[in-house]
Copies of this chain bind each other. A is one copy, B any other.
């Protein structure tokens, strides 16, 4: 029998995950109350069906795929329904959040009698036949979620407790998105100083791999920057024991915040980044 999976919310990532599941025969529920027409259309096109909290809690799996700042609130809002459910689901938090935040959610979910598994998504919204997206899982019940690999998802189980999958996601994003933030800072500084051409020319010779990576990734960043702000703040929390590292990611959060504002407005930073990347072609 095919599993029933609740995927909340139907954002870009959530609806893409849902579409993989429904196209492989799973039933996917979500919550559409109060959502925009565009989100509702995206959810429908992914084959997701609207459901009440009770119907969400009655699923076999709940995948939480929300902006990082909403992960705890979602668990809290579902807790009463989970507590009332006679057949408890497995709740998988797939968000880009600090392991400490994951453990808070674990407590909220476990108190309801449901099972909790930690998850971390690496890669873009999944597409058919693509191997680029993996949902890492960790915790004592992680293996129970891997049945979803038969429904179009790649779900490697990682060694370690609840929090390990999120720690991996934090450190991976800390390198890739952190480098993007730092690269943007320097592209903008070099442009302001009138040295962008010389920098590109030198990097073509002595740092071709870094130049190629940065100028390939950068054009995709401004439209996503608003989503990365809270993720950088989670990473700052993740490296919190290391004051130095926290400073990096607090700076990265502010950078993405400013680029997001620019992207929705004046577009001067976005244009400067695009112009830099063009030089590298």
Contacts and interface: CB of A to CB of B under 8 A. Distances in A.
Interface of A: 99, 122-123, 132, 134, 136, 158-160, 163-164, 167-168, 170-172, 174-176, 178-179, 181-183, 185-186, 188-190, 192-195, 197-199, 202-203, 206-207, 209-210, 212-214, 238-239, 241-248, 250-252, 254-255, 258
Given A167-B190, A189-B239, A213-B209, A248 B182 contact: yes
Nearest to A167: B193
A99 to B, nearest CB: 7
A194 B244 contact: no
A210 B207 contact: no
Given A168-B198, A209-B209, 12 more contacts: A136-B202, A159-B197, A172-B199, A172-B202, A174-B189, A181-B248, A182-B248, A188-B242, A189-B242, A209-B210, A209-B212, A246-B251
A47 to B, nearest CB: 28
A255 B245 contact: yes
Contacts of A99: 193
A251 B241 contact: no
Nearest to A174: B186
How many identical chains are in the complex? 2
Contacts of A198: 136, 158-160, 164, 168
Contacts of A246: 251
A239 B185 contact: yes
A171 B159 contact: no
Contacts of A174: 182, 185-186, 189
Nearest to A253: B244
Pick the most buried of A167, A195, A239: most chain B CB atoms within 10 A of its CB: A195
Contacts of A248: 181-182, 185, 247-248, 251-252
A160 B194 contact: yes
A254 B199 CA distance: 26
Contact of A189 (B176, B192, B238): B238
Nearest to A269: B242
Pick the most buried of A176, A238, A245: most chain B CB atoms within 10 A of its CB: A245
A178 B163 CA distance: 28
Nearest to A161: B194
A203 B168 CA distance: 11
Contact of A178 (B182, B202, B242): B182
A181 B195 CA distance: 23
A166 B254 CA distance: 26
Nearest to A208: B209
